[in-house]
Structure 1
């Protein structure tokens, strides 16, 4: 029994999650734990983009940077970065979310998640310089919406919360990662 535990420990992967936000940390663990024996570390990793990304490109870049910076900070095997943003389209303002996995062997693996429209007043406030989390706290008169249900939870009437949204995104990431591991 002890030998089996030691063997698992030796094969354990060190995963750095580029945030300390509990919704994102839980999403990574929910997705990765059934597939990889790992020890998880929550790292306050910079995105190296604006505090509130306002395009898909900036949000993707932020996710990749968080993954890389988290991995580098603790010399992990894998870094995971998740980033939320807001984009403006002809139809209105949409939530967007992107994630990335980096390791020392592969190019970054990237995936995008759910998108839903938000009220114009929310979008305008964000595009005038406020962070979505702060706007949402004011909008629903709650504190730390971004650490709980998130805007997605508010605007889906609780049917999809922030953890489940990011878990789906992480499923897309881990699925691609496992595929590449099997076919490289």
Structure 2
């Protein structure tokens, strides 16, 4: 199984490797544009970014293209702003989509995002770190390591890959 990930972020590549490890994939990293804002601000925009990354990664000649996108969004029935993550997997004919965990953001962080800031830099400033998005991520920091960004994104990839690894979707 040759899989191209539409990102050069090592956390995203590791998430794909982790999610698909039983299939012993060859995973390559492809620098693509998501086609959406650097900080997607809705479920629809986050999914669109994941799908665009997957399609563009597939153009590298892989068997499957995988796109991962993190965003922030409000959820109709829950108060506050949430960190969300989505994955898309495509073979060019079909596209599977799956979500990772969602996490309510603390008000002081959500307020900065509402003012137009991006989550990664806000978290780095808040925590006194550099490059949290290429490490444990906001989800790792906000859960005290109960789950890190790699595991959260791997869950999204596993869900998006479902139509390609079982016959239940045929």
User: Where on the TM-score scale, by shorter chain, does this alignment land: which range?
Assistant: over 0.9
> 1:68: how far off?
0.5
| Counterpart-to-counterpart distance in 2, 1:175 and 1:183 | 8
- Is the 2:71–2:83 contact (alpha carbons within 8 Å) kept by the matching residues of 1? yes
| Counterpart-to-counterpart distance in 2, 1:123 and 1:177 | 36
* Residue 22 (1) aligns with residue 10 (2): yes
Q: 2:127 aligns with which of 125, 140, 144?
A: 140
| Counterpart-to-counterpart distance in 1, 2:131 and 2:46 | 21
For 2:34, what is the secondary structure of its paired residue?
coil
Specify every segment of 5 or more residues in structure 2 that has no aligned partner in the other structure, as ranges. Answer: none
What is the TM-score of this pair, normalised by structure 2?
Answer: 0.92
Q: 1:83 aligns with which of 57, 69, 74?
A: 69
Q: Which residue of 1 aligns with 2:107?
A: 120
Report the number of matched residues.
Answer: 168
What is the TM-score of this pair, normalised by structure 1?
Answer: 0.86
Q: Which residue of 1 aligns with 2:88?
A: 100
- Is the 1:54–1:127 contact (alpha carbons within 8 Å) kept by the matching residues of 2? no
1:24-39 alignment runs, 5 A limit: 24-35=12-23, 37-39=24-26
Q: Which residue of 2 aligns with 1:69?
A: 56
Give runs of ≥4 in structure 1 deviating > 6 Å: none
- Is the 2:13–2:29 contact (alpha carbons within 8 Å) kept by the matching residues of 1? yes
RMSD (Å), alpha carbons: 1.5
| Counterpart-to-counterpart distance in 1, 2:113 and 2:7 | 21
Q: Which residue of 2 aligns with 1:10?
A: none
For 1:91, what is the secondary structure of its paired residue?
strand
Specify every segment of 5 or more residues in structure 1 that has no aligned partner in the other structure, as ranges. Answer: 1-12
The superposition leaves residues 81-126 of structure 1 with CA deviations (integer Å, 9 ceiling, x where unpaired) of: 01000112451111100000011232x1101111111112211212
The superposition leaves residues 143-172 of structure 1 with CA deviations (integer Å, 9 ceiling, x where unpaired) of: 111111111011101111101111111221
| Counterpart-to-counterpart distance in 2, 1:114 and 1:38 | 24
| Counterpart-to-counterpart distance in 2, 1:22 and 1:140 | 21
Structure with max Cα Rg: 1
